[in-house]
Amino acid sequence: MMFVKCYVVVVACGWGFFHRCLVSYSGCRYHWIKRKGRPAPREVAPILVSNHVSYIDPIFYFYELFPTIVASESHDSMPFVGTIIRAMQVIYVNRFSPSSRKHAVNEIKRKGGCDRFPRVLLFPEGTTTNGRAIISFQLGAFIPGYPIQPVVVRYPHVHFDQSWGLISLGKLMFRMFTQFHNFMEVEYLPVVYPQENHKEHAIRFAEKTSHAMASALNVVQTGHSYGDLLLLMKASQSNQKNLSNYLVEMAQVESVFHINTLEAMEFLEKFLSMSPDPSGRVHFNGFLKGVKLRPCTLSKKVFEFIDLENNGYIVFKQFLCASAHVMKLPLFRQACELAFTECDTCRSNSMSLQDFRELTRPAIPDMTDEEMSELFNLFDADDDGKVSKDDFILCLRKNPLLISIFSPCLIPNKDILERL
């Protein structure tokens, strides 16, 4: 027992020394850090939330508060860092797994509600930002309903912006090392309490906390989220130059259209296949290339449906919202199944190229054999010369605007057609 106690003391002392080194050395010349306010006692606010600007943020908080943190599972594989955060009883979460998110919320609630654990620290934005806005919050910190102390960090600068964005970690550290002094400010804000009845919706609780942090920083709140960062990175990998056109305020899009980030990524892949110009615009011919259609009355109507401002071109957000709007209509799947049934007269649960041609000819009568084959191949995912019902529906989920080419066969079912 005595050995265990001594070991804990040695580890704690070593950790304190390690963090002093990090703040002075890896912290890249942070000779002093300006603080405002004080951390609330753990029994008052068991959860802290902070904006996330640099890799320095968690280093500071580890040294100052030694909290339990919530981190992405991907951090576990990072050399050295993974070992350290595991020792701090980190709560891992996979943001794309509902079961993992549920487990993380349960752990936050368990550790936040027990004085035997350190306070819990979260970066609810889910990613680093440049500090000039507060983006939408993930709700994990707010679902348990415990009082929360918001904290804000600032990095005033003249020559080099220390925020960790699309810049590589190596380049960021090099630039910070080559500055004589880097500035950092930390402000502890008043504790934000849920409503007395403890039934306040987590979204409203998050909004109150976000507003307090945005007011302290004197910045705007936006509907962007971690999903925007993923879209931005994918567009960047495709050598797009005007990346701001791929920021769609994903949190707002999710709320309105009930579409998740993975689905948005698939729509971005489709949009990029249309060869947008350097400014991120797709014109009519590029649109036709992506959806495998030819110029006709129907394809023009579909393009005009997306191009609400009648600019003669579309951007990714317009394409995403139009596609999500159609895909999430209540009768969309029913319309897909009905279109397939109209073609599958033999009830073989598949359609050939000839069947497909007969199904689409009423909407696009002038398609050549080559154009028809290209469109058919879009549906024939396994390239076996036949389109199964699952293939058909899956393709329309990825290309929901193409449901329009099957509108003639839906005319007898006007109720479905009118609600699409």
- Overall pTM > 0.95: no
> What are 247-266's pLDDT values in tens digits?
999 999 998 999 999 999 99
CB 94 within 8 A of CB 140: no
pLDDT at 197 over 90: no
Instruction: Output the pLDDT for position 9.
Output: 34
d(CA 412, CA 116): 67
Ramachandran category for residue 228: left, alpha or beta (phi over 0 → left; psi -120 to 50 → alpha)? alpha
Domain boundaries along the sequence of the chain: 32-221, 226-328, 331-418
What dihedral do alpha carbons 381, 382, 383, 384 form, nearest 10°?
-130
Instruction: Output the pLDDT for position 19.
Output: 46
- Mean pLDDT, residues 185-195 taken together: 93
> What are 79-119's pLDDT values in tens digits?
555 666 666 678 888 888 889 889 999 999 999 988 888 99
Q: Confidence band (pLDDT; 50, 70, 90) for 281?
A: very high
Instruction: Output the pLDDT for position 22.
Output: 46
User: Could you tell me the sign of the dihedral formed by the alpha carbons of 154, 159, 165, 171, in that order?
Assistant: negative
Q: CA geometry: angle at 323 spanning 234 and 400, to 5°?
A: 110
Q: Confidence band (pLDDT; 50, 70, 90) for 23?
A: very low
Q: Confidence band (pLDDT; 50, 70, 90) for 2?
A: very low
Instruction: Output the pLDDT for position 90.
Output: 83
Instruction: Output the pLDDT for position 286.
Output: 94
- Mean pLDDT, residues 263-273 taken together: 94
Of 176, 182, 185, 249, whose CA–CA distance to 217 is shortest?
185
> What are 198-251's pLDDT values in tens digits?
556 888 999 999 999 999 999 999 999 989 988 988 888 887 778 888 999 999
Do 331-418 and 226-328 fall under one CATH topology? Answer: yes
Percent of the chain whose pLDDT exceeds 70: 83
pLDDT at 123 over 70: yes
Mean pLDDT of the chain: 82
Beta strands in 284-346 (DSSP E): 313-314
- Mean pLDDT, residues 395-412 taken together: 82
Dihedrals phi, psi of 378, to nearest 5 degrees: -65, -35
pLDDT at 341 over 90: no
Which range is least confidently modeled, 55-69, 171-185, 322-336?
171-185
Q: Confidence band (pLDDT; 50, 70, 90) for 196?
A: low
Instruction: Output the pLDDT for position 198.
Output: 52
Instruction: Output the pLDDT for position 206.
Output: 93
d(CA 411, CA 268): 31
Q: Which residue has the higher pLDDT, 297 or 85?
A: 297
Architecture of domain 331-418: Orthogonal Bundle (1.10)
Instruction: Output the pLDDT for position 408.
Output: 73
- Mean pLDDT, residues 161-188 taken together: 77
d(CA 226, CA 235): 14
Q: Which residue has the higher pLDDT, 22 or 178?
A: 178
For the segment(s) 226-328, the CATH number from 1.20.120, 1.10.238, 1.10.150, 3.40.50 is: 1.10.238
> What are 157-167's pLDDT values in tens digits?
767 777 776 67
* Residue 313 three-state SS: strand
Q: Confidence band (pLDDT; 50, 70, 90) for 195?
A: confident
> What are 44-55's pLDDT values in tens digits?
999 999 999 888
pLDDT at 72 over 50: yes
Q: Which residue has the higher pLDDT, 173 or 392?
A: 392
Instruction: Output the pLDDT for position 78.
Output: 61
Which range is least confidently modeled, 113-117, 143-147, 197-201, 391-395?
197-201
